[in-house]
Chain A
Amino acid sequence: WSAFAPEFQELEENEKYVEKEGEFDMEDE
């Protein structure tokens, strides 16, 4: 069934997302 969600990664349990430093930036010269 992952074929129906491109580059989908199956997880066994919730994964806490580690934010990047530029997480909230739209543009960064």
Chain B
Amino acid sequence: TVIVSPNDRAYQLHASGQKITGFEGYAMARASHGVSKGTWYFEVNFDDQPEESHIRIGWSQTHAALQACVGYSKFSYGWRSKHGTKFHEAKGKKYHFGGFKQGDTLGCLIHLPVDK
């Protein structure tokens, strides 16, 4: 079963099973399982969003720093709850107007062509 990795994550995040909670500045946790080819999709429920807080979710290689947000470097691709902006190498681009919030179910798909 895919869970939040107990060790491939920033020490200050609280994670247990498939649930993760962050505080203060952005920090990252990766899943216990990764993929390297083919087309994959995962979904999460956005359970709780305190006032003025936001999350970013997406896909990350193992090289991406844990003490930053997904989409900060060339090793990861992020989607932000605020304005629905997508990020890669710390550059935000318009992607999904209005963003997402608590109560939404978020889906992330990655397509890694097998023959490339």
Q: Which residues of A contact B (CB under 8 A)?
A: 18-19, 21-29
A23 and B90 form a contact (CB under 8 A): no
Interface of A is mostly: loop
Which single member of B54, B72, B82, B94 contacts A29 (CB below 8 Å)? B94
The distance in angstroms between the C-alpha atoms of A19 and B24, with both chains bound, is 7
B68 touches A28 (CB 8 A): no
Chain B contact residues, majority secondary structure: loop
Residue numbers in B under 8 Å from A22 (CB-CB): 92
Task: For chain B, residues 78 to 94, give those with C-beta under 8 angstroms from any C-beta of chain A.
Answer: 82, 85, 87, 89-94
User: Beyond the given A19-B24, A27-B91, A28-B85, could you list 15 further A-B residue pairs with CB under 8 A, ordered by the A residue number?
Assistant: A18-B24, A19-B25, A21-B26, A21-B82, A22-B92, A23-B25, A24-B69, A24-B72, A25-B87, A25-B90, A26-B91, A27-B90, A28-B91, A29-B92, A29-B93
